[in-house]
Amino acid sequence: MISIVISACLLADPSDCREHRVPFMRDIDPAQCVQYAQPHAAGWASENPGWEIKEWRCTRTGGE
């Protein structure tokens, strides 16, 4: 399984940065993840308005 790992910082405290994992609901490969990840990251940002995305990447998750 592939997940998007979003590195984001709190707007109220930019020194408080964390990684958030967003799993893809379907089985895709890493190249497809890079291709389709941006809309998922944008959706995460709209659902988490107190955070600012600094970067994102695709990674394999457990169970493989």
End-to-end CA distance of the chain: 7
Residue-level pLDDT at 25: 66
| pLDDT of res. 64 | 43
Provide block-wise average pLDDT over 10 residues at a time, the chain (64 residues): 92 97 79 87 95 93 58
Residue 33 is predicted with a pLDDT of: 87
Structure tokens at 14: 């930019």
3-class SS letters over 1-64: CEEEEEEEEECCCCCCEEEEEEECCCCCCHHHHHHHHHHHHHHHHHHCCCEEEEEEEEEECCCC
Q: Given this model, what pLDDT does residue 51 score?
A: 97
| pLDDT for position 62 | 65
Instruction: Measure the CA–CA gap between 4 and 50, rounded to whole angstroms.
Output: 19
